[in-house]
Amino acid sequence: MGVNEFVSTPLVRLRCIFHQPATKVGRRDFLGFSGGSGRSFVGAVLLSLALLLFVTGCEPPQVPEYDATPPPSALRIAYLDGKNLHMMKTDGSEITLLARNLQPTECAPYYVSPDGQWVAYQQVDDGLWAVSTAGGTPIMLSDGLAGSVSWFPDSSGVVYTLNDDVYAQWLDTSQSPQPLAVGGRRFLFPTWSPDGKYIAFLETTTDPDVYNVILIQSDGTGWRTLGTTAPQISERRLCPDVVVWSPDSTRFLVDFGDPSFAFYVAGGSPVQMGAGLSPTNHAWSPDGRSLTYQDELDHLWLTKADGSDHRQLTDFPVSDAVWSPPDSQVAYIAQRSGDTALEIIDVQTGESRSLTIGDDFLESSPHWTLDGTYLIFARHVAQDQPASTETEGLPSAGIWRVPADGSAPPQRLALTGDAVQVFAIR
């Protein structure tokens, strides 16, 4: 399949449902119904959505399925230099400034759209914005400090939280922002399924330590509570790793507290993912059959998607584990022998190799190119401190790439930078 070809899967476009005038964002109203936490409110909302869908008879849009290995000319690297967002080709050429003064977060404070043509980001003390990767004037999506953000699968807009309510906003800002789930600071981490059929998110309960796990269809109907989770941390803004869908959209992981569970679209009992104390940082393999996670000592483990067959991959701490596109390898930042290094392990054989070692740098943010041939990563100056993967406050040593087979030494692409992402412009 060519890079510009696609196939269709069902997704009811939210703008069809909500083409009536919208209520103002920030109010606790939704299509004429008063806000609140009662299920009578939810029932009225769902009935309204179902009636509107029936009346409008909207056609589902095209949800692209992109080529897994686009040509090298389509690949780009996004990264931060200070608080500014930049983009370049994977050979380090054509460095472009996309946005300034991004809000600091615990992770990359920006989201690349599925088609690679837009980036959403939060500015410091300002709204949620989107800018084209081709350049041009940014578009304001929300004038408030947004929380979690998830792109529509067709890249036409975003779902985000504002004051812990869930809204949808299109890049076509003549469409007003539409409330999807509101009622008094109750909803967190809305995330689309890859096939565009569902949105999963968390809902607060009367117990401040317990959240309901909610699944709705992409037209806003079919509200279901799949279970509960008991997080031990507060929401991290603009971090997309709390609700993580499997590639086949049959289940999603809630990596938010201890323990972590996988919840199934078909229903049934959630499955605990990870063995031992405090398993965290789960990552699906591209085929959805396996996950990696870290235990309480940050050692790396492998488990099957059904939560069985736990196997330890490392006996030393790691961070930033990321699967290769062909599924068989995982890259990570290792701490061993008083040093840090970018390493790769074959999950079938357990054989590993170091791609960077014996230098004065700390590596972070490794990302594979989509063909699996290179790893792109950031480096910081270690400054004679003990081995650690914590890079905050350290001088940047730039953005680098290295062949995954170790056939050549690392090559510097940019003099300074961090918070790397690799994507393709479709």
Contact indicator for 236, 242 with CB cutoff of 8 Å: yes
Averaged pLDDT in 10-residue chunks for the chain of 426 residues:
29 39 30 32 37 36 69 92 94 95 76 95 89 94 86 90 86 88 77 89 87 87 89 49 89 81 92 78 91 91 91 93 91 84 94 86 91 93 57 75 95 92 93
Nearest to 226 by CA among 244, 248, 247, 211: 211
Q: 332: how many CB neighbours lie within 10 A of its CB?
A: 28
The pLDDT of residue 232: 59
Radius of gyration of the chain (CA): 21
Confidence (pTM): 0.81
Structure tokens at 73: 């000319």
Contact indicator for 316, 335 with CB cutoff of 8 Å: yes
The pLDDT of residue 35: 30
Contact indicator for 317, 354 with CB cutoff of 8 Å: no
Q: Per-domain residue ranges for the chain?
A: 1-64+114-240, 67-94+313-426
With vertex at residue 201, the alpha carbon angle to CA 46 and CA 239, rounded to the nearest 5 degrees, is 145
The pLDDT of residue 284: 93
CA distance 86 to 284: 28
Residue-wise burial string across 4-27, b where 16 or more C-beta atoms lie within 10 A, e elsewhere: eebeebebbbbbbbbeeebbebbe
DSSP reduced 3-state for 231: coil
Identity of the residue numbered 318: V
The pLDDT of residue 52: 33
CATH of domain 67-94+313-426: 2.40.128
Nearest to 254 by CA among 264, 238, 243: 243
Residue range 326-378, pLDDT digits in tens: 878 999 999 877 678 999 999 999 999 999 977 778 898 899 999 899 999 99
Nearest to 305 by CA among 260, 262, 354, 255: 262
The pLDDT of residue 279: 80
The pLDDT of residue 71: 86
